[in-house]
Amino acid sequence: MKNISINKVTQELVKEIEKHSFGSYLLEGNADLSRIATSNFARQVKQDHFVYEISCKSLITDSYSFVKKLISPYITLLEKDHPSLLVKYKQSLCLLMPFLRKKKLFEDVTLGLDVPRDENPTSFTMSFIVSMLNGIINFLLEIPNLYANRKPVIFLLKDIDECDYSSIQLIKRLIIRSPVCSYYVVLTSSKQDVFNQVEVNFNREFLFNPISYALRTDINTQLQKLDSKEKNEILEDYIESCGVNDEDGLYSAVYHGADKDLKSKYHQEQVTLLNKTEKDLSSKYAKLLFHMEALNDDKIVELLEDAAYHCRISGYYHEAVHYVTHSQNHYWSAYDDQQKAKLLRIKGVGHIRLKENPEALESLEESLRLAADPYFKARLCYTIGSFVIKHEADKYGPMWLDRGFEQIQGLENEKATLERLWLNNSRALIKYREKNYEEAIRIEEENLNKFQETFSGREHAVTHAILHYNTAYVLQDSGRLNEAIDHIDEGIRLVSSNLDLYNNKANILQQMGRYDEAVSYYNRVKNEGYPKVEVYINLGNAYLKLGKYQEAWDHYNYAVKLSPDNPNTWNARGHLLYVKGKFKEAINDFSTALDLDPAFISALINRANTFAGLEKSAEAISDYNFAEKIAPNRVEIFINRGAIFQEMGYWQKAKEDLEYALELAPSYNAAYIFVNLAVIYSQENQLLKAKEYIQQAVTQNSSDPWIKFNKAHLHIQLKEWDSAYFEINKALEISPTNKEFIDLRKKIQENQSLV
């Protein structure tokens, strides 16, 4: 009876694969039976699929443990056979496994400006982690192209309820991307509702959406009907018949039943082995601390401190918080106040990255209370002022920055100068967010001058480059694009290998309309194999401006595959579909973007415009109305809704929207608004008012033939035939083959002959 049940699960899985139902499948229940079912499944599908099969069991702080085990054999293999694939993804691979930088193939890898480090305290984002994970997934998806004739990929991940903190993030991205990237993820967990138990790491609603529950197996319920002997017999039979190696898990002690001395010797041997062979620091710290029996308290205290610091600079934020919390709970009295302050800062920064702001503030304030070093305290005030309080109450940010300046008041040395630069940088950020660009630029330029007075040559080159990068950012938003380019070029001169600088230069070039140059810089970033989704969106935008629709589609589509949970990707692709006249497909993409973010104003406006293109006026107006509630000062809403009201013959509503648009932004698309108002007033037979508006339209744009066409129509209504003839001739000079223009001139000529 049991054999049939497990076979049924296996066959259902195989059927889903045969139907190409790309996505994720979860098997919950007894671990042994789940392992048998999935191993049996793997045997059946390996002929036609490339299967990554691995147990995710790991120590909780052995970061990305299973994926490192998965990748490591391929590193050696690809070094010999296909080094170009390693080079393509070297950035992501080195972020995952920093020890690879000792290999010749990876020695030139540099970290981006958004990767956390002491010389760049401005990075408080998880974006580089997402980019790294996307790069690793892409790497794993490309390997079958080299060794398995492009077979569809299946990730068979077992024991996900016992994986480390960081691997949860990778599993989440695998699940999110699976439907759009056409691969399968099969997961096993011995715990019911495992995702509830780790919701601190997952967005529950988001995670559940892509998972199919057609395959749920309640193995525990089946086992309740059997006695212990039957269970063991069934397991043994299946292990033998399926060829499954029932290995001990990580937590199964090899010294089971042994005496205390033997256990201690075992731990000592493991510690000796780890110290000799383990290159991966994350794994080394996790395993050494697992074998605490072989360590004295002083060594444990030192290891916990080192492990927390390593996790902070590597982006392992859960692990960093875990190590500090463990230190607090068991060894806190062994640290002096300055050590405690440093550990609490690590914990606070970890909480910030995890968007746990109250916990972050608590840790950072306690760190400030314990610290004695003025430079350390200044940096803490900078951290709180810049990245915690702004989420709680903006008005307190400047107060914390002022406290930071107080810590180093009267100190005039290089160390104090660096801290003042970062505090000033945050002041500039506040002014930038207030749209006080001139003041923000003044502060940034003052920062640069002070830096150049204090330091020489390439001293603190990364910090110097960041200051130029930040100055360029403000200049770009204030419209001073040539100056922005100069600062980015200076940053590139200082840190020539940094991809963020090239990416920002491409953004500025695109804003300047220099699309071909922008494409070349975006491609440089893209070809490094560190897949930031915004690079692909921006490349698509540049190709769209160049009229290269296929290239734009390829990059938008790839952006969707990288981040199907990012509404910007769907909105960008939807806009291209709209431009190509594929309105129904565009609606689908805009709707997906809005499912992800119902208040995404650009997607709302774009969907409304597309509904208008389909002549679905009610749906368009509904979207515009909702958009108005979210962004009551967004001028496009009133221009576009006014145009629909005009087409529907609701003259008064159309006038109200268009005239309000002029109040909001007198110069935004003014010619279009004036023409529409002129047409409305002419429909209402208010011809002099219409004439006033059409003249303003001409003043705004004298080269648009359609404005002249509408002006000619108005002259006809006023029976001013000569003026009408003059205007239509002007329109034909610009567009001599336009049939509507030719027909109107013929009509005017006929009426002139009658006068």
Residue 434 belongs to a domain: no
What is the CATH number for 205? 3.40.50
Shared domain check, 665 and 569: no
The C-alpha angle with vertex 315 and arms to 310 and 317, in degrees rounded to 5, equals 90
Query: What's the pLDDT score for residue 254?
Result: 35
Residue 616 belongs to domain spanning: 565-575+586-632
Query: What's the pLDDT score for residue 399?
Result: 87
Q: What percent of the chain has pLDDT over 90?
A: 46
Residue 532 belongs to a domain: no
226/742 Cα distance (integer angstroms): 89
CA distances from 437 to 398, 444, 469 (A): 17, 10, 15
Residue 68: band (very low, low, confident or very high) from pLDDT cuts 50, 70, 90:
very high
Query: Alpha helix locations (H) across 411-532?
Result: 414-433, 437-454, 461-477, 481-494, 499-511, 515-526
449/443 Cα distance (integer angstroms): 10
Domain count, the chain: 3
Residue 473 belongs to a domain: no
Residue 238 belongs to a domain: no
Shared domain check, 194 and 48: yes
197/48 Cα distance (integer angstroms): 35
- Domain boundary among the residues 186, 214, 242 is at 214
* Least confident range of 152-156, 285-289, 378-382, 644-648: 285-289
Q: Is the pLDDT of residue 528 over 90?
A: no
Q: Is the pLDDT of residue 403 over 90?
A: yes
Residue 481 belongs to a domain: no
Query: What's the pLDDT score for residue 551?
Result: 97
Handedness of CA 409, 412, 415, 418 (dihedral sign): positive
Residue 106 belongs to a domain: yes
Shared domain check, 150 and 102: yes
Shared domain check, 194 and 46: yes
Which residues are registered as beta bridge partners of 158?
55
Mean pLDDT, residues 293-311 taken together: 90
Q: Is the pLDDT of residue 251 over 80?
A: no
The per-residue pLDDT for range 30-51, each reduced to its tens digit, is 667 777 777 888 888 888 889 9
Determine contact, residues 386/406, Cβ cutoff 8 Å.
no
The per-residue pLDDT for range 260-283, each reduced to its tens digit, is 565 566 567 767 766 766 788 888
- Domain boundary among the residues 214, 246, 277 is at 214
Q: Is the pLDDT of residue 175 over 80?
A: yes
Query: What's the pLDDT score for residue 631?
Result: 92
Shared domain check, 732 and 599: no
Shared domain check, 641 and 623: no
- Domain boundary among the residues 214, 238, 271 is at 214
Residue 621: band (very low, low, confident or very high) from pLDDT cuts 50, 70, 90:
very high
Shared domain check, 598 and 665: no
Query: What's the pLDDT score for residue 212?
Result: 33
Task: Classify residue 355 by its DSSP letter.
Answer: T
Query: What's the pLDDT score for residue 223?
Result: 37
Cβ contacts of 523 within 8 Å, gap of 6 or more: 539
Query: What's the pLDDT score for residue 564?
Result: 92
The per-residue pLDDT for range 431-487, each reduced to its tens digit, is 888 889 999 999 999 999 999 999 987 788 888 998 999 999 999 999 999 999 999
Q: Is the pLDDT of residue 53 over 60?
A: yes
690/651 Cα distance (integer angstroms): 13
Shared domain check, 641 and 627: no
Residue 61 belongs to a domain: yes
Query: What's the pLDDT score for residue 274?
Result: 67
Shared domain check, 52 and 11: yes
The per-residue pLDDT for range 687-704, each reduced to its tens digit, is 889 899 899 988 888 889
What is the CATH number for 626? 1.25.40.10
Shared domain check, 92 and 26: yes
Residue 644 belongs to a domain: yes
Shared domain check, 628 and 641: no
Query: What's the pLDDT score for residue 391?
Result: 59
Shared domain check, 66 and 175: yes
